A = this chain, B = another copy of it.
Amino acid sequence: MELLPKEQIAFQRFLDTIRRGYERFGFLPIETPVFERLDVLLTKSGGETEKQVYFVQSTGAKAQGKEAELALRFDLTVPLARYVAQHEGHLVFPFRRYQIQRVYRGERAQRGRFREFYQCDIDVIGKDTLPIAYDAEMPAVIASVFRELQVGAFTINLNNRKMLSGLFESYGLTQPERQAAALREIDKLAKVGKDKVLEALHGPDVGLASDEANRLLAALSLTGSNAEILAALRAIPDTSALFKEGVDELQAVVDGLKAMQVPEENFRLNPTIARGLDYYTGTVYETFLNDFPELGSVCSGGRYGSLADNYTRSKLPGVGISIGATRLFFQLREAGIIKADRSISQALVTQLDPSLGHEYLGIASLLRTAGINTEVYTEGGKFAKQLKYADRAGIRFAVLMGSDEHARGTVTVKDLLKGAQHEVPRGELVTRLQALLLDDGV
C-alpha cells in the first residue's frame, strides 16, 4: 500500500470526503497511539487474528532482554474502548466520535489484502442507555458520505438481532449455541442459496424440524418495500416480546431515516443480515454497491450492549459503523469509479523569459495569497516542455508572460483542458483565474 502522487491525491480527497461527512453530523475526532498493550490485543483478537497481531519492541529494550509489552492496533474498536474507559470523566455522553487511522494485521501480502490499511469509524457511546435514534443516525451519515463519494447506487441493509433471536425462539430455537449456528448459516444465504441453508438448519448443529426451518427461512426471505417487510414481520403469528422489540426498533430506524430525508432507495430491511455472532445486540448494518455486489459489504456495523466491560464498571452501550477505506478505494479505482488525474496545483506559472524570473515568483505569490495552489516552473527551457509537464502533472491552467505581455502589463492564462487562452491585465489575473476555477468543480 504505497501510492504514486496522483493516486495519493485521489485517496486523500477520498478520506477528506469521509471526514467532512462525519463532521457534518457533529462527530468529534479522536486519534489514539498506534500502540496498545500486547496482552489486551491478544485477548481481544481470536483465532487467525491472534497470529496477525504485530508486537513491537525497541531494539534497546530487546537488548536488555525485556519481553515485548506493546503491539500495533488491529482495529479501532479496542482503542476506542480503552480511550472511553480511560477518559470517561472528561467525556460528554452520549460520546460521538469519529476516528480515521491505519490499523495493522500481519497478513501475507496479497491482492486486496493489506498489512496496513485505513479504517474510518464512527461510534456513539451512551452511559447506561443510548436512544434508538442513534441507530438511525449511523446509516444517515453513511448515506450522506457515500453520496458525496460518488460511488454510484448503494444500499444500506438493515436488520435487528433481537428480531432474529425472537424469531428463533418462536421456532423453539432457544439454546444460544444453536441460535449461533443458525445465524452462521443464515449469514451464508446470499452466498450458498436457500436449499443449502435449509439443509443446514435442519441438520444436527441447529436441529430445526423441516417444517420450522421452512417457515423460519420464509420469514427471513421477505422482500418488498421497507413498509411491506415491516408489515409482514408484524403479521407473523405467536411471536415473542423480544421479536416485537426488535421489529419496533427496526421501525424506529426506518422512521428516523425518513425524517432525516435519506432517500428510501438507499436503505432496506434485510432480515438475513446477521453480522457476526456475539458482539452485536440490536441493529446491524451492511452496505452494498448495487453495481458491484461481488465486493461484498463495504461498510458494516451495528449496536452493541457494552463497549468496555474489560476496563470499566460503567455500562457503555454503543452503536457504530466502519468504512474500510483502503480496500474500498482500491476497489473503486479498479472499477473505474474513482479517477486519479489531478494535481494538487491548480496553476503553473511558466517561465518564458528567464530575465523575468522574479516577476514569475511574484505572480505565484499573488495567486497563493488568493488561495490558489500554484507552482512555478523554475527550470525554464522550451515552452512546449513546460506545457507538457503541466499536462502530465494534471495541472489545468498555465500562466504565461513573455516580454510582449510584460510590456503590455498583461498575462495569459492557458486552459489546457479546453485549449482556450485568455490574455488579461495583470491586476485582473486573480479574479479571472478564480472564476475559471469555479467552473473546474474543485
In the complex, which residue of chain B has the Cβ closest to the Cβ of A21?
B368
Report how many residues on chain A are interfacial, defined by Cβ distance under 8 Å: 87
Which residue on chain B has the smallest CB distance to residue A114?
B33
Does any Cβ of B come within 8 Å of A63's Cβ? yes
Q: What are the 9 A-B residue pairs with the smallest beta carbon separation, nearest first?
A: A58-B106, A51-B60, A26-B375, A259-B358, A26-B345, A5-B28, A259-B361, A133-B378, A261-B365
The listed residue (B34, B50, B348, B361) touching A102 by CB distance below 8 A is B34
For the complex, what is the distance from the CA of A134 to the CA of B48, rounded to whole Å? 50
Interfacial chain B residues near A63, Cβ < 8 Å: 51
The segment out of A90-98, A170-178, A238-246, A304-312 that lies at the interface is A90-98
Is A8 interfacial (CB-CB < 8 Å)?
Answer: yes
Question: Residue A371 at the B interface, CB < 8 A?
Answer: yes
What is the CA–CA distance of A24 and B370 in the complex, to the nearest angstrom? 10
Structural contact, B116 and A26, CB atoms closer than 8 A: no
A32 and B2: CB pair below 8 A? yes
- For residue A43, CB closer than 8 A to chain B, the reply is no
Instruction: State the A residues within 8 Å of B (CB).
Output: 1-5, 8-9, 12, 23-35, 42, 50-63, 72, 83, 86-87, 90-92, 94, 96-97, 102, 104, 106, 115-116, 131, 133-134, 137, 140, 144, 255-256, 258-261, 343-345, 348, 357-359, 361-362, 364-365, 368, 371-376, 378-379, 389, 392-393, 395
CB distance from A173 to the nearest CB of B (A): 35
Copies of this protein, total? 2
Tell me the bound Cα distance from A83 to B5 in angstroms. 11
Q: Is the CB of B260 within 8 A of A361?
A: yes
Given known A33-B116, A344-B29, contact A51–B58 (CB-CB < 8 A): yes
A51 to B86 alpha-carbon distance, docked (Å): 30
- Kindly state the separation between the CA atoms of A60 and B105 in the bound complex, as whole angstroms: 11
Docked pose: A256 CA to B378 CA in angstroms: 11
Chain B residue nearest in CB terms to A79: B2
What separation, in Å, do the CA atoms of A373 and B96 have in the docked complex?
A: 13
B26 in contact with A373 (CB, 8 Å): yes
Known A-B contacts A29-B9, A29-B344, A90-B4; A53 and B42 likewise in contact (beta carbons under 8 Å): no
**Known A57-B55, A59-B55, A102-B34: A25·B87 in contact at CB below 8 Å:** no
A-B contact pairs, 13 of them (CB 8 A): A2-B32, A5-B91, A9-B28, A24-B371, A25-B373, A26-B373, A34-B102, A53-B58, A131-B379, A133-B376, A144-B368, A259-B358, A259-B362
Q: Whole-angstrom distance between the alpha carbons of A325 and B169 in the complex?
A: 56
- Of the candidates A144, A344, A372, the one having the most CB atoms from chain B within 10 angstroms of its own CB is A344
How far is it, in angstroms, between the C-alpha of A348 and the C-alpha of B29 when the chains are bound?
17
Known: A23-B373, A54-B56, A55-B62. 7 other contacts (CB 8 A): A8-B30, A34-B104, A42-B59, A55-B56, A57-B106, A131-B378, A137-B378
Please give the distance in Å from A101's CB to the nearest CB on chain B. 9
Name A370's closest neighbour in chain B (CB-CB): B24
Q: Are B358 and A255 in contact (CB under 8 A)?
A: yes
Residues on the B chain within 8 Å of A51, using CB: 58-60, 63
Contact partners of A392 in chain B: CB under 8 A: 92
Tell me which residues across on chain B come within 8 A of A365, comparing CB atoms: 140, 260-261
Q: How far apart are the CA atoms of A362 and B256 in the complex, in Å?
A: 10
Contact B59 A393 (CB under 8 A): no
Q: How far is the CA of A61 from the CA of B106 in the complex (A)?
A: 9
Residue of B nearest to A5 (CB): B28
CA distance A260 to B90 in the complex (A): 46
- B56/A389 in contact, CB under 8 A: no
Whole-angstrom CA separation of A87 from B2 in the bound complex: 10
Report Cα–Cα, A312/B87, bound state, in Å: 48
| Residue in chain B with minimal CB distance to A360 | B259
Q: With contacts A51-B59, A60-B51, A60-B52 known, is A8 near B24, CB below 8 A?
A: no
A260 touches B364 (CB 8 A): yes
Residues of B within 8 A of A102 (CB): 34
Asked, given contacts A3-B30, A30-B3, whether A60 binds B373 with beta carbons under 8 Å apart, the answer is no
Which partner residue on chain B sits nearest A345 by CB separation?
Answer: B26
A26 & B374 in contact (Cβ 8 Å cutoff): yes
Q: How far is the CA of A61 from the CA of B50 in the complex (A)?
A: 11
When distances are taken between beta carbons in the complex, the residues of chain B under 8 Å from A61 are 106
